[in-house]
Copies of this chain bind each other. A is one copy, B any other.
């Protein structure tokens, strides 16, 4: 990584940016920059030096090239709804915001594809094709505000990702601007592409390899029939057990979500769905989709499994209105938690489904140990937990304690064979935990890839990896590890 100037004369650089994006495309007034200080992870803040708003691939390439030539670090930002600080600015950086890149460039129903600019809102994709009976599957809770570019950077998930996969399973191709300003196409319009799968590497790379300026998305045919089943339980373990049993029976529903009593009541207080039983220890929400006959059969089988696990009540909804009402509660769960306490911290970890009962018990123990209430809302089918730690940031030292608690939860996930993140990414927030999950050699192999795309380290520096290393440092460290291994060998 090269030295980054802290005391810079920004005037000539601003002129260069303005020549590309126009005067209105550069935000430089201190008070206007305020809103760009953080993303959805509001506990970290850093004001960028400038915000630049390009409109096209070519403009992005020129902006990145100016940064490259002037050694200015830059961070790409979509809608800023990310929860791991992936779009958190760094000191004296340029924030490249895709808010003006909101065109749907192509809708190809015959080949089930849509090409969009990165600033397009997730939900707009479905809106653009739903009239013709299609939809875009990945559906983060923030889908009415989050952007496709951010979804690509973080490899976002959502309720429907149990059956249909996360963002990477729905991105066919990308037009990229790499950190040297070159424009590259990876992947394409058909799923089978020869060569290395660079589309796969880029999705989830959290802005460290470049910016996607066009995204080719796969859209799916909407199912013939959809039913939402709501089962309520006297214990969260019974809800978890039902999830395991459903999967073991070979049924893969569209989505399976668990909300605990705290979340249920928070949601009913705020959104008042009227559907969630306030006295349940947990509810299990299951979306069943497919052919009408298939939905009917699976509804029957799932209901039986829930009953066997002690479900108190099971209700089902077929009509769109009731289904929306049930899901609205789940999608508003994070926001509703905000009404329970002045602040909350969302954790995002993954565990093997088989460990669910054990991990939930442990989280309960940690909640007691630290003295913070934890609400549990999660993608149960994927084992993707979202513990919400409720706290008050105005209490001195609270954030530090909450972060420590969050860290303990993450380490627990990794310990049982899970992952540091299901869908929110590593960003600025979790990079220090990467060594808990990956060996030194594993991490350095990833960093080789970063160095090759981003050799100067200007693209989203300080994210994802615990200690950003230069190419030379990473190579040396790796050789040391190799040599260490070699020590136990024959020769």
Is A400's beta carbon under 8 Å from chain B?
Answer: no
Beta-carbon contact of B183 and A441 below 8 Å: yes
Beta-carbon contact of B486 and A195 below 8 Å: no
Beta-carbon contact of A420 and B382 below 8 Å: no
Question: If A182-B485, A452-B452 touch, does A111 touch B204 (CB 8 Å cutoff)?
Answer: no
Give the distance in Å from the alpha carbon of A192 to the alpha carbon of B189 in the complex: 25
Is A384's beta carbon under 8 Å from chain B?
Answer: yes
| Chain B residue contacts of A417, Cβ below 8 A | 189-190
Give the distance in Å from the alpha carbon of A434 to the alpha carbon of B61 in the complex: 25
| Chain B residue contacts of A489, Cβ below 8 A | 58, 62, 65
Is A178's beta carbon under 8 Å from chain B?
Answer: yes
Kindly provide the distance from the CB of A472 to the nearest chain B CB, expressed in whole angstroms: 13
Give the distance in Å from the alpha carbon of A133 to the alpha carbon of B251 in the complex: 13
Is A79's beta carbon under 8 Å from chain B?
Answer: no
| Chain B residue contacts of A438, Cβ below 8 A | 185, 195
Is A163's beta carbon under 8 Å from chain B?
Answer: no
Beta-carbon contact of A198 and B446 below 8 Å: yes
Beta-carbon contact of A426 and B491 below 8 Å: no
Which residues 240-283 in A have Cβ within 8 Å of B in the complex?
Answer: 248, 250
- Tell me which of B350, B354, B441 contacts A192 (CB under 8 A): B350
Is A357's beta carbon under 8 Å from chain B?
Answer: no
Is A294's beta carbon under 8 Å from chain B?
Answer: yes
Is A186's beta carbon under 8 Å from chain B?
Answer: yes
Which residues 454-491 in A have Cβ within 8 Å of B in the complex?
Answer: 464, 478-479, 481-482, 485-486, 489-491
Question: If A196-B204, A451-B452 touch, does A353 touch B486 (CB 8 Å cutoff)?
Answer: no
Question: Whose C-beta in chain B lies nearest to the C-beta of A19?
Answer: B490
Question: Whose C-beta in chain B lies nearest to the C-beta of A301?
Answer: B291
| Chain B residue contacts of A180, Cβ below 8 A | 478-479, 482
Closest 4 CB pairs of A and B: A200-B200, A221-B250, A293-B293, A294-B294
